[in-house]
Structure 1
Amino acid sequence: MDMQPLDVDEIRASFVNCSRGEAKSLTVPTDVPWATRDFLGWRDPKAPGRAYLVVAHRDELIGLSLRAAPPAKSRLRSNMCGFCGTTHTLADITLFSGRRAGKAGREGNTLGTYLCADLACDAYVRGERRPAVPQPHESLTVEQRLERMRGKVGLFVERVLETR
């Protein structure tokens, strides 16, 4: 389920947990390999503590504005991404949190999860990128791992949208 190419206006209009002004000011990537992306995730180069996730969800394009926690200092321990299951050093895993959509978000309610710091989960699953630590063996095929990742991304989006 590869993403269809999106233009900047479609991406900006998709955001459900930030203001239109915030969506208008975010930096949108221009060099996206759409054919191998299951979702669009990126860190804002102008504001390293900000990140964005855009995903096709139930026939709707959903964009989420996220905050990235400061990186961990240790490279001696590891953690696993909540979307793709890739194991990384602690410095390469980040806690991303986002306001919930609607009234709950306006009241300050957030939802967070630990993810690949570069948000390139589908690239790790497809073997296009290699993490710095050895990975546990999985008997699942790449397509099965992609399906599992899509399900976890969808669940995260559902949880953000619960109060919308």
Structure 2
Amino acid sequence: MLPISAQDLRGAFVNASRKEVSSITLPVWFDDADWDALDYLGWRDPTIARRAYVVAPTLDGELVGVLLRRADTAPRARAQCSWCQDVRLPNDVVFYGAKLAGAAGRNGNTIGTLRCEDFECSRNVRRLPPLAYEGYDLEAARLRRIDELRLRAAGFADAVIRDR
């Protein structure tokens, strides 16, 4: 992901009111973020319970910020993150919902996704996967997982802005 300023980050949000955008608490690590190791920017708001944020480029390269709300209840069974699809998750997976951008969101339409609770997907896909069979190219599999995460994040951003 390309580096982004705090001002550009706040300007990227498409499904939040001005008041909600002004109340965004940036993550403490924002100024020291390793942008080369991030496929999207995601964090939980430390000041507002159940609120989280994702900023991801669309397939066309437009930067889209999405305000997320965490579900009250956890999935009944151990869920798999729909973005990194890591089967050896070191963290919990929760359901996050988001209003769609534009008129669709104002009419109450939403989109949801099962996500790593603390947005560790970029780190998860960069770990070498387990050896599937003799001769399996672990580095190629890791690079494919990184590309797939970028496509899923972009697909989510595109879905949020599709009808604006």
TM-score exceeds 0.5? yes
From the CA coordinates, give the structure whose radius of gyration is larger. 2
Displacement of 1:48: 2.9
Residue-by-residue CA offset, 1:113-146 (whole Å, 9 max, x unaligned): 1011111111111129xxxxxx876666111001
2:2 corresponds to: 4
Q: Which residue of 1 aligns with 2:65?
A: 63
How far 1:88 moved relative to its partner? 6.4
Query: TM-score, normalization: structure 2?
Result: 0.83
Q: 1:158 to 1:119 in 2, by over 3 A?
A: same
Specify the alignment match of 2:25 in structure 1. 27
Aligned identity (percent) is 36
The secondary structure found in structure 1 opposite 2:148 is helix
| TM-align CA RMSD | 2.3
**1:88-118 deviation digits (Å, cap 9, x = unpaired):** 67x8111011000000101111000101111
- For residues 46 and 19 of structure 1, what CA distance do their matches in structure 2 show? 17
Residues 137, 162 of structure 1: alpha-carbon distance in 2 compared, 3 angstrom cutoff: farther
Q: Is the 8 A contact 2:122 2:146 kept in 1?
A: yes
The structure carrying a bigger strand percent of its residues is: 1
Determine the C-alpha separation between the residues in 2 that align with 1:110 and 1:10: 24
SS in 2 for 1:141: helix
Partner residue, 2:54: 53
Could you list the runs of 4 or more consecutive aligned residues of structure 1 that deviate by over 6 angstroms after TM superposition?
Answer: none
- Report how many residues are paired: 153
Q: With structure 1 as the length reference, what TM-score do the two structures score?
A: 0.83
